[in-house]
Structure 1
Amino acid sequence: MDPVHKDLLRKHTLDLCEDLLVSDTIVPFLYQEDILTAAQVDEVQSQSTDRKMNLKLLDILPNRGPRAFHCFMQALDLEFSWLKDRLLLDLRARTETGSSCSRLNETPAPGGHGDIWCLPCSLGQKIPSDQELSRLASLLGGEWEAVLMDLGVSAAALYRCRADHTLSHHGTTLAALLLWRQSEGKNATLHRLERSLQAAGVHPSVLKDVLL
């Protein structure tokens, strides 16, 4: 998990522990998305109170790989969207505060470990591949529609993508991203994606995971 995301969850531990009920939907969703193992599900659900279950989950999540934060955001969107919005608002504020100094002082390569990551200039005009768009589709949660609409994909086109992939969030998002790339041609660049991710409140480090 990105250090910025770890710090964000640590900062909001009290809020999350007081307001979440993880056993009904969040833990099963994270297991479904291969973020938690069966043993970790048992470990969380064996705790004696909801608060202890929340603490145990927040203790496990930071060590569950680069998809863990984004899948947790998707899980929150199922029943606790207001908590997700609070986290993303704080994340956006952190990104905006640190972005100017980050762009002046560093351009880490994909896979770097800076707390604030931005797209290296050398990759800005690259058109993302099918594989890279598939990775992005797996990382985007409830913000996917805002990202695609900022990219210029119409509401009608998004509706068709949902209708064609009713049982797959990944399939819906990937279909919309492929549609954007096809319609924009040489303008469908990583730099354009970065701008729309930021506009939708998605941390730019998502692209670091996409470009692995």
Structure 2
Amino acid sequence: MDARDKQVLRSLRLELCAELLVEGLVIQYLYQEGILTESHVQEIRSQVTNHRKTMMLLDILPTRGPKAFETFLDSLQEFPWVRDKLEAKRNEVMLVALDDDEIPGIPRNALKSPPTDQQINKLARRLGPEWECIVLSLGLTQNDIYRCKVNHSYNIQSQIVSAFILWRQRFGNKATMESLCSGLKSGEVDSSVIQQMFQ
């Protein structure tokens, strides 16, 4: 699920819990469309109150792939007002994100050049297991990740550094700080990590 859609669900979490009854068609529709598995449905139904059932659904949805949010909107036939609220919030978040694409304190021209070895090292020190998703979103393959892990099997930081260097080599002048920053944002990496690369 897109980071912005996750943010929408998070920001409306309590309102959704108060207004949504997941017992009805919502769960069945999400199951029918392959967003929820049978074990997800059982896990949601095992919750004691409707409030908890909705919370469980909201915990599961962000982990269910890129179509989860759209399918969730489609499942809200019985709750058009909830759907309208989600769509309005989503548009609001997208507008903010468009204004927000500038990273404070970082000059525009610095974003057009490729990251230096020093910047990649700084980044590698701050990243955790999410590094794999980030390099995949930048265009590397599972095979590339596997190779980086095998070549540096005892040092995670070296695995991360070699993956980003491989990305820089493979994509040449397309491997800019700007594309790296948007990959980090989509991986929900804190903006302080991005800013630290430029210090």
Give the TM-score taking structure 1 as reference length. 0.49
Residue by residue over 1:12-71, the C-alpha shift from the partner in whole angstroms, topping out at 9 and shown as x without a partner, is 111110110111100000000100000110111121111111011111111111111111
| Maintained 8 Å contact 2:4/2:94 | no
- Gap runs ≥5 in structure 1: 117-212
Aligned residue identity for 1:31: Y
Provide the residue aligned with 1:114 in structure 2. 185
Moved over 2 A (4+): 100-109, 111-116
Corresponding residue number in structure 1 for 2:154: none
Whole-Å separation in 2 of the counterparts to 1:81 and 1:113: 34
Matches within 5 A, 1:32-51: 32-51=32-51
* Alignment correspondent of 1:83: 82
Q: Could you tell me which residue of structure 2 aligns to residue 98 of structure 1?
A: 97
**Conservation of the 8 A alpha-carbon contact between 1:35 and 1:68:** yes
Q: Secondary structure at the match of 2:71?
A: helix
- Distance in 1 between the 2:80 and 2:184 partners? 29
Equivalent residue for 1:161? Answer: none
Deviation at 1:7, TM superposition (A): 1.4
Q: Does 1:23 align with 2:57?
A: no
Partner residue in 2 for 1:61: 61
- Shift in Å at residue 101 of structure 1? 4.4
Q: Contact (CA 8 Å) 2:3, 2:186: kept in 1 or not?
A: yes
Q: CA deviation at 1:102?
A: 2.5
Contact 1:108 1:114 in 2 (8 A): no
Larger Rg: 2
Give SS of 2:185's match: coil
Counterpart of 1:21 in structure 2: which amino acid? L
1:115–1:93 CA distance, 2 compared to 1 (3 A): farther
Q: Distance in 1 between matches of 2:79 and 2:33?
A: 18
Indicate the SS of the match to 1:98.
helix
Aligned to 2:170: none
**Is 2:61–2:69's contact at 8 Å kept on the other side of the alignment?**
yes
Q: TM-score when scaled to structure 2?
A: 0.52
**Gap runs ≥5 in structure 2:** 103-107, 112-176, 188-199
Residue 100 (structure 1) shift: 3.8
For these two proteins, the number of residue pairs brought into alignment is 114
Q: Could you tell me which amino acid in structure 1 is paired with residue 101 of structure 2?
A: S
